[in-house]
Amino acid sequence: MNYFSSDFKLGILGGGQLGKMLLAETRKFDIQTFVLDQSPEAPAQYGCNQFFEGSLMHFETVYRFGKMVDLLTIEIENVNLEALLKLEEEGLPIYPSPKTLHQIQNKGRQKDFYADNDIPTSNFKRFVSLKSLQESIKNDELDFPFVWKCAQFGYDGTGVKICRSALDLVKLPDVECIAEDRIPFKNELAVIVARSVSGEVKTYPVVEMEFHPEANQVEYVICPARIDEKVAQKAQEIALKVSESFNHIGLLAVEMFQTENDEILVNEVAPRPHNSGHYSIEASYTSQFENHLRAILDLPLGNTASKVAGIMVNLVGEDGFYGPVVYENIEKIMAIDGVTPHIYGKRETRPFRKMGHVTIVNENMVEARKVAEEVKNSIRVVSV
């Protein structure tokens, strides 16, 4: 198949920042792209050949979009699976496959999958509704504290809450959910695995994630993770096992906990480019976005090693600000060596909304971390 400067059309379901960054790679290789997103202001609309506005959950919309392209991929998991299954039956290559998406889309099914495939994860219970979870507490079948997660449609810290008492349940939605044991951990880690159609597999180095204490969002991604080599090797091995079990194609981001006694437990996965891999645009020989493209087109995978230490700082809307976005002090951070901002193109800000990220590269990890702190303290995402 000739993908380059040809009539080949790649379809992308979702037009957010991940789609926008993926399009930078398709532009590099001159691959035609069609993008579907429900928002008329989707960040990816400007980088594609054709943009279509429509719901990713609507059968007919997704099906018709799929009929216009030669291969389909995603940048978000919440898509209509029935349409994808019909398209796949009709011969359209879809990566990751609808089967893989079905296993991952629902966090309850995802946790069952780990248990069934002997993949280490925290203990959990599934509930059809918040009401059934509350009944379980009344009957002494579930104890505080635990981590509540809605089974579907959670993202960027929404749909997750640490519950320490009945008061924490008051404002939770009455939806299908899971309750997980709260794990005392040293670090939150992630490994991105790239797997091509013909089965070539590569992993990126283990990264360490520092989270915002209130928003449950990643503030910093640090590569390589500042952990013992044996722990890093164990994390890589488990990530490869997860990838093999799901039999996914493209990228799979595996988020994990490093416990107090250095065990590795899988938290959850994302079958697409991921926040924990953004550092790779500047710090790696091959970015996660390029390797996702190489994997789904069955091209040789690129080198996943890092050229230098990389730290990614998320830019999120500051608390208390709503409306047209303004980035304060961006010139100040751009004057620092090794600092590259990525602005996603969302015109409206709100508290904790992901608006961009900044990558810091440096041969010295300690220095990179200091610069990351300076960047975090300097730039502000506010509104007019």
Residues flagged as binding site for ATP: 107, 149, 180-183, 188, 267-268
Binding-site positions read 107, 149, 180-183, 188, 267-268
Pairing of strands 207-211, 264-270: unpaired
Cis status of the peptide bond prior to 98, with omega within 30 of 0: no
Query: How would DSSP label each residue in 132-189?
Result: HHHHHHHTTSS-SSEEEEESSS--TTTTEEEE-SGGGGTT--SS-EEEEEPPPEEEEE
Classified as helix, coil or strand, 33 is strand
267's tokens: 């938290």
Pairing of strands 160-163, 124-127: unpaired
143's tokens: 């104890």
Which run of H or E residues covers position 62? Answer: helix 59-66
CB 325 within 8 A of CB 350: no
Pairing of strands 339-343, 250-259: unpaired
